[in-house]
Amino acid sequence: MSFDLAAIRAQFPILSQQVNGKPLVYLDNGATTQKPNVVIDAICDYYRHDNANVHRGAHALSDRATAKFEGARESVRRFINAGHREEIIWTKGTTEGINLVAFSWGRDNLRQGDRVLVSTMEHHANIVPWQLLAGQTGCELVPMPVDDRGQIDLAALDDLLDERVKLVSVVHVSNALGTVNPVEAIIEKAHAVGAKVLIDGAQAVAHWPLDVQALDCDFYSFSAHKMYGPTGMGALYGKRELLQAMPPFMGGGEMIETVSFAGTTYNALPYKFEPGTPNIAGAIGMGAAVEFLESFDRKALAEHEADVLNYAVERAHQYEGLRLIGEADHRAGVLSFLLDGGHPADVGMLLDQQGIAVRTGNHCAMPIMQRYGITGTVRASFALYNGRDDVDALFAGLDKVKTFLL
Ligand code: PLP
C-alpha cells in the first residue's frame, strides 16, 4: 500500500514522545485525534499575526481575521459538499449542533404525541437533548433496537416509522462499537413518512468523504477535534429552508439585525445561530484540518484505515480471552472489547504503563452498554497515522496485561 506512515507521523509532533518510558502508541482517536503541524500553525499564525474580532472592525486585522474565518466556513462547506455556505453553522462541537436542532427546530415543531427516534447505540449527546425536549414539549423519545452484532434492526425501524415520527436522529459511526449505520436507507425510510433526519457524524467525517446533498440528510453535526482539528469547535449542516424557518437558539450580538425594546429582528443565516464572539481560532483550525484531510487521496486513506481495522479485528478473533463488543458487517475506526478477568479500567491502566493510550468505560453510551449487559469496554480507536505496528503493539501490550491479571 502506497501510504507513507512515517512521513504522516512526522507531521504530528505529539506522537514522537515517550510515555512511561515507552514510545507512545496513541489509540484513543475516538475521544480526540492528534493535531498535525498545519493545524497548530494555522491557529498560532492567526494569534500571532491576525487576531481581531470578526465582521465588525474597520481595520486591516479584522478584515484578515474575517477573511480567514469565512474562508474556513467555505472549506467546511466544500468538505461535506453542502450547497450553500449559509448552511454551515459554527458550533462548539457535535453536542452543541444536536442541542441547537433540539431547542430550535424541536421546540418549534414537536408537540405531545410526536416522536423522535434514536438508536440504542447513541452517544449521550444524541439522547439527553431529546429527553430534555420531551420534558418540555411532551414529545416522546423512542429507541430503535440494535441486534447482537451491534446493527440497527431495520425491520424494527420499519415497524416504528409512522406519521407520529417527526425526527430520526442517528449516529453515522458508533463511537462505542464502530458500527457504520446504513444512514442512506434510514434517511430514505424516514423521509417516506415525512420525518426529518439528523445525523451525528462525530466519528464519521475523518474516515471518508461526505456528501450531504447526496445523502439528503436534513441536519449533520460534527466536531473538529475528531478530524485533526481543535477542541471546542464544530459545525452543524442544515438544509437552508429548514434553518431559515427555525428560530434562534441563543440570543446576543452578531445574531441580530436591529434591536429595540419594541422588538428585535434577526440576522441572516448563518449568523442567526452564531451569537457572541465566535471561536475564530477554532474555525481557522477546523478549516486547516479540512485542508489537511483534503491533501490526501481519500480513497487510499479509507483503504489504509480499513486495512488496519481489519487486521485488528482478525487478531482480536484469534486472541484468547478477548470478546469483541460490536461485530457489525460494516464498521470503522473502533475495536471495543473485554478481556477475561480484567476490568476495563485495569486493562487501560496497565496498557498506559506501556505507553499505549486507549479509552475504557461506557464511552458516553450507557444504553448500548446496558443492551449488552456490561458496564464498559476497552476501546482502541484508530486514525490515519495508525498502522499495523500499532495493532501489534496493542496485542503485545495485552499479553503483558494478562500476566498481571493471573
Ligand atoms: N457523538 C459521538 C458519536 C461521539 O463520539 C461524540 C464524542 O465522543 C459526540 C457525539 C460528542 O462530541 P463533542 O464532545 O465533540 O461534542
* pLDDT per position as a tens digit, 239-279: 999 999 999 999 999 899 999 999 999 999 999 999 999 99
Distance in angstroms (rounded) separating the CA atoms of residues 331 and 395: 20
Q: Is the pLDDT of residue 170 over 60?
A: yes
State the pLDDT confidence band at 56, using cuts at 50, 70 and 90. confident
pLDDT band of 77, cuts 50, 70, 90? very high
The C-alpha torsion from 176 through 182 and 184 to 187, rounded to 10°, is -70
Question: What is the Å distance from ligand 1's center to 365 Cα?
Answer: 10
Q: Check whether residue 173 and residue 69 sit in a common domain.
A: yes
User: Using a 6 Å cutoff on CB, does residue 94 contact ligand 1?
Assistant: yes
Same domain for 256 and 133: yes
Q: Are 271 and 358 in the same domain? A: no
Beta bridge partners of residue 379, listed in sequence order: 336, 359
Tell me what the mean pLDDT of segment 286-310 comes to: 97
Domain count, the chain: 2
Q: pLDDT band at residue 2, thresholds of 50, 70 and 90?
A: low
- Shared domain check, 53 and 22: no
- Look up the domain containing 357 and give its range: 5-30+297-405
- Is pLDDT at 370 greater than 50 in this prediction? yes
Question: What's residue 1's pLDDT?
Answer: 46
Neighbours of 399 (CB within 10 A): 10
Is 71 within a domain? yes
Does residue 154 belong to any structural domain of this protein?
A: yes
Q: Is residue 35 part of a domain?
A: no
In angstroms, what is the span from residue 405 Cα to ligand 1's centroid?
A: 32
**Average pLDDT score over residue span 126-152:** 97
**Burial (CB count within 10 angstroms: exposed 0-12, middle 13-18, buried 19+), residue 293:** buried
Least Cα distance to 293 among 69, 183, 285 occurs for 285
Mean model confidence pLDDT for the chain: 97
Contact criterion met (CB below 8 Å) for 139 and 114: yes
Q: How far, in Å, CA of 39 to CA of 46, rounded?
A: 11
Residue 279 is predicted with a pLDDT of 98
Statement to judge: residues 253 and 352 lie in one domain: no
* 60 and 194 both lie in a single domain: yes
User: Phi first, then psi: what are they for 378, rounded to 5°?
Assistant: -95, 135
For residue 116, the surrounding DSSP H or E stretch is: strand 115-119
Same domain for 182 and 284, yes or no, is yes
Same domain, 239 and 379: no
Q: Are 111 and 140 in contact (CB under 8 A)?
A: no
Pocket mutation for ligand 1, best pick of 180, 221, 223 (most atoms within 8 Å of C-beta)? 223
* Claim to verify: residue 208 and residue 241 sit in the same structural domain: yes
Strand-pairing partners, residue 170, are 199
Find how far residue 359's CA is from the centre of its chain: 16
Residues 134 and 280 in one domain: yes
Do residues 108 and 248 share a domain? yes
- C-alpha of residue 123 to centroid of ligand 1, in Å: 7
C-alpha cell at 168: 430520526
Is residue 355 situated within a structural domain? Answer: yes
Could you tell me what percent of the chain has a pLDDT over 90? 98
What residues act catalytically? 364
Mutate to test the pocket of ligand 1, among 28, 95, 171, 368 (most ligand atoms within 8 A of CB): 95
Q: For position 123, what pLDDT does the model report?
A: 97
Q: Can you tell me the mean pLDDT for 166-178?
A: 98
20 lies in the same domain as 62: no
Helix (H, G, I), strand (E, B) or coil at 169: strand
Residue 21 zone, left/alpha/beta (φ > 0; ψ -120 to 50; rest):
left
Q: What is the CATH number of the domain that holds 96?
A: 3.40.640.10
Instruction: Give pLDDT tens digits for 8-49.
Output: 999 999 999 999 999 999 999 999 999 999 999 999 999 999
Q: Does residue 117 have its Cβ closer than 6 Å to ligand 1?
A: no
pLDDT tens digits, 349-364: 999 999 999 999 999 9
